[in-house]
């Protein structure tokens, strides 16, 4: 934790170079490490290693983020300051460049080079809350959050009507095609929330069979075709009988002389 950036301004070839510029030009006396993982309760952390001498290589003083957290947790208990712990002693010396004595450990905490276990826990909790708030602002619920309702939407009969106003994400989430995605409350935007509340009006349309079954006229025609086939297959309805029937009908239709 750098309290005053000015104390890290250096003179190189009669030119002042501030800490931010040292980082930008990647001067060997400064090393920066960024970590984005959630391991050990730390979501994102940036470690800056600064050597007082320009000839020193700051990268040689860096340690892994997991080792840094272990070191902080170990030394948060003052009883460990006086105990011999070879691994922690080596990490402390590599990280600070100093021998792990009581005075040096106290100095490291006072200067913010090390942080307490309580600080790590509080920081992790803060990051979790920030991540939760950020996720709640994104419309991740869509129209329905329950799997049964999503499955019902997957299997509706009138899919054409469904796809006119709904969009399905790869994870199975259904959302309105007018979904704003952001500016949500509790993970649901106003558009999807309103649609969710009034979706009862949509189910009759989505479950309508008219889009997938033949119309009454077509059905009657289909029945007539079946009847015609059945009749034509009847062995008693031969060609001679058909001729007599047609002849009789034509006779009836002829105008009198």
d(CA 144, CA 61): 52
Dist. CA 143–CA 140, nearest whole Å: 9
Interhelix angle 102-110/86-96, rounded to 10 degrees, is 50
State residue 124's pLDDT score. Answer: 79
CA 221 to chain centre: 53
Nearest-angstrom CA–CA distance, 254 and 257 = 9
Q: 68-86: per-residue pLDDT in tens?
A: 889 999 999 999 998 889 9
In a structure prediction context, what are the per-residue pLDDT tens digits for the chain, which is 257 residues long? 444 556 677 676 677 777 777 777 787 778 776 655 555 555 556 667 777 666 777 777 777 878 888 999 999 999 999 888 999 999 998 888 889 999 999 998 988 888 888 888 888 788 788 777 776 788 888 888 777 888 888 888 888 889 999 988 888 888 899 888 887 888 888 888 888 888 888 888 888 766 444 444 444 444 443 343 334 344 444 555 555 555 554 544 445 54
State the pLDDT at residue 247. Answer: 55
pLDDT of residue 43: 52
Paired tokens of 2: 């750098």
Decide: pTM greater than 0.75. Answer: no
* Closest among 121, 120, 100 to 112, alpha carbons compared: 120
CA dihedral 133, 138, 141, 143 (to 10 degrees): 140
Neighbours of 168 (CB within 10 A): 15
**pLDDT tens digit sequence for 5-27:** 566 776 766 777 777 777 777 87
């Amino acid at each position: 934790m750098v309290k005053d950036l000015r104390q890290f301004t250096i003179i190189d070839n009669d030119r002042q170079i501030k800490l931010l510029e040292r980082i930008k030009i990647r001067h060997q006396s400064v090393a920066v490490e960024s970590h984005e993982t959630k391991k050990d309760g730390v979501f994102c952390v940036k470690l800056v290693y600064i050597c007082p001498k320009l000839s020193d290589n700051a990268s040689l003083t860096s340690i892994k983020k997991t080792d840094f957290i272990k070191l902080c947790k170990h030394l948060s208990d003052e009883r460990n300051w006086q105990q011999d712990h070879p691994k922690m002693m080596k990490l402390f010396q590599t990280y600070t460049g100093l021998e792990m004595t009581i005075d040096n450990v106290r100095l490291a905490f006072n200067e913010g080079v090390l942080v307490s276990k309580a600080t790590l826990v509080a920081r992790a909790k803060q990051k979790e809350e920030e991540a939760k708030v950020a996720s709640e602002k994104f419309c991740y619920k869509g129209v329905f959050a329950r799997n049964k309702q999503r499955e019902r939407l997957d299997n509706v009969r009138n899919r054409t009507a469904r796809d006119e106003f709904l969009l399905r994400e790869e994870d199975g989430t259904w959302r309105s095609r007018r979904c704003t995605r952001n500016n949500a409350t509790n993970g649901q935007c106003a558009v999807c929330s309103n649609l969710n509340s009034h979706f009862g009006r949509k189910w009759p349309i989505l479950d309508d069979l008219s889009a997938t079954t033949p119309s009454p006229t077509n059905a009657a025609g289909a029945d007539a075709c079946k009847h015609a086939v059945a009749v034509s297959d009847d062995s008693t309805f031969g060609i001679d009988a058909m001729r007599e029937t047609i002849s009789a009908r034509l006779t009836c239709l002829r105008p009198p002389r």
